Amino acid sequence: MSVQLDARDPGAADTVELLRELIREGCVNDGTPSSGQEIRSVRVLQRFLAEAVRAGRLETQVLESAPGRASLVARVRGTDPSAPVLGLLGHLDVVPVDPDGWSRNPFGGDLIDGEVWGRGAVDMLYLTAAFACVVRDVALAPAPPRGDLVLLAVADEEAGSEYGIHWLVREHPETVRMTEAISESGGMRMGRHVAIEVAEKGSAGRRLVVHGKPGHASIPYGASSAAFRVGDVLQRLAEVKPAAETGELWNAFVAARIDDPELAERLRDPVRIDAALPMLGGIAGYAHAVSRTTISPTVLRAGAVHNVIPAAGTIDLDIRTLPGTTDADVDDLLAALLGPLVDEVEIVHLRGWAATSSSPDTPLFAAIERSVEAVSGSPVVPIMAAGGSDNRVMRELGVPAYGFGLLAPGWSYERYREGVHGHDERIDVESIDLSLAALRRIVAERVG
């Protein structure tokens, strides 16, 4: 059954219906190898694209990194080998839900009062559906495009992408050959501007190991509990913080979002930023995150049984880094923060990746700017994402990649973050319509 709606883009109804189907598949990724089962959503996309495949205008591959962990690659061939190859990179998996926190079935895909409800609606199934709609329409157009247009609908983004884009890069590198790419983490409103992601922070996880002297818990005298030392390290990390760093993206954020000249001046001064953060309301958390390296203790361990004083304890740190920060820089920062405790702490490297960025001075970014302004009347501001996405993998390959979207007025960054991984996640039809209209313009300009 088709959806009836008032939209500027004729494909909006199909995109909304496809989004609802993807939500209903419930490809929940809890981080275990057998979760996700993205093959279900791949089958939905195959049915949606079937007409273009039958017409011989669209080439598709289904690639499984493990049973059920499937990604779909769909390519429309262009006529000019020298033209850009534009990749539309969407993921199919979603994070788990707590059903008790939802007002509606999180996997119902309900369309209520102009909003599609369900896990993944914002992150990022609405864009994956829009990408598929544009690829299908380009494939079925009377004339082929000038350059290749590629849909990558991948598995496992929510758990680190090992069964998704990383696996494709290793095992099927030909599928990710493109010259530029668009994915998620854009479209929210920053004042009168529309935010487009050009960079994202890196991850440099660390485990701090501290040692003590064990003993029977009934006779603590003479022992030295590692649990106390864990507490000493935590207190030190709470008291000493990484310094703020400003740059072009920070200044662009302040200019777009902050109307008060005096507050803007304070925020541009690294010494005064922290005192000004409480004045930012709901955007303060984002501002804090993108103005420095952040360190968050997440997992604490000490001891195994209640009657033994522990000999060792560990603290796992989620550390998010700014572009240009190296592993050595992180270790030096931790040593400085730990101060007199540093000789008592062993620093172990956990999994991580470098921060990535793409220059806003590219033809693709210029096309995004023109398309967003043409559809919405709003200028674009380049931003850094505090979290991660598959864009980083494309950038590591040397491919400029941007976080795209065009959400309706009223979709501030704060509202966007509440929807991502939150209860009652939903996206309005107007935002789908706007994003689809802007995406068509970008595709037309870049691959024709």
Q: pLDDT tens digits for 12-55?
A: 999 999 999 999 999 999 999 999 999 999 999 999 999 999 99
Amino acid at 36: G
Is the pLDDT reported for residue 111 higher than 50?
A: yes
Share of the chain above pLDDT 70, in %: 98
Using alpha carbons only, give the angle 387, 257, 272 rounded to the nearest 5 degrees.
85
Tell me the pLDDT tens digit for each residue of 166-197.
999 999 999 999 999 999 999 999 999 999 99
Angle in degrees, CA 337, 339, 345, rounded to 5? 90
Task: Using CB atoms within 10 Å of the CB of residue 149, give its burial: 0 to 12 exposed, 13 to 18 middle, 19+ buried.
Answer: buried
Tokens at 439, concatenated? 């995406």
Q: What is the pLDDT of residue 3?
A: 43
Could you tell me which of 407, 387, 418 has the C-alpha nearest to residue 126?
A: 407
Residues 212-231, mean pLDDT to the nearest whole number: 91
pLDDT at 2: 38
Instruction: Please say if the pLDDT value at position 5 is more than 60.
Output: no
Give the 3-state secondary structure of residue 210.
Answer: strand
Residue 441 in contact with residue 373, Cβ under 8 Å? no
State yes or no: pLDDT of 241 exceeds 70: yes
Residue type, 274: D
Q: What share of the chain is helix, strand, coil (3-state, %, to 5)?
A: 40, 25, 35
Mean per-residue pLDDT for 392-405?
97
Q: Is the pLDDT of residue 4 over 70?
A: no
Residue 108 has pLDDT above 90, yes or no: yes
Task: Provide the pLDDT for residue 26.
Answer: 97
pLDDT exceeds cutoff 50 at 404: yes
Residue 289: name the closest of 349, 203, 191 by CA. 203
Q: Hey, what amino acid is at 332?
A: D
Q: If pLDDT is split at 50, 70 and 90, which confidence band does 156 have?
A: very high
pLDDT score at 223? 85
Q: Is 432 helix (H, G, I), strand (E, B) or coil?
A: helix
pLDDT tens string 318-359: 999 999 999 999 999 999 999 999 999 999 999 899 999 999
The answer to whether the beta carbons of residues 90 and 154 sit under 8 Å apart is: yes
Instruction: Place 387 in a pLDDT band, splitting at 50, 70 and 90.
Output: confident
Query: Within a 10 A sphere around the Cβ of 142, how many other Cβ atoms?
Result: 4
**pLDDT at 388 (0 to 100):** 87
- Please give the pLDDT value at position 8: 64
CA-CA distance, 337 to 322, in Å (whole number)?
17
Question: Lowest-confidence range among 63-67, 147-151, 322-326?
Answer: 322-326
Mean pLDDT, residues 234-246 taken together: 93
Residue 47 CB neighbour total at 10 angstroms: 10
pLDDT of residue 7: 52
Instruction: Summarize the confidence of residues 195-216 as an average pLDDT.
Output: 95
Q: What domains sit in the chain, N to C, each tagged with a CATH number?
A: 12-190+361-447 (3.40.630.10), 200-353 (3.30.70.360)
Q: What pLDDT was estimated at residue 68?
A: 98
Report the DSSP pairing between strands 180-183 and 193-200: unpaired
Closest CA to 349 of 322, 324, 321, 379: 321
**So what's the pLDDT on residue 222?**
86
Mean pLDDT, all residues of the chain: 95
Q: What is the pLDDT of residues 285-322, one digit of tens each?
A: 999 999 999 999 999 999 999 999 999 999 999 999 99
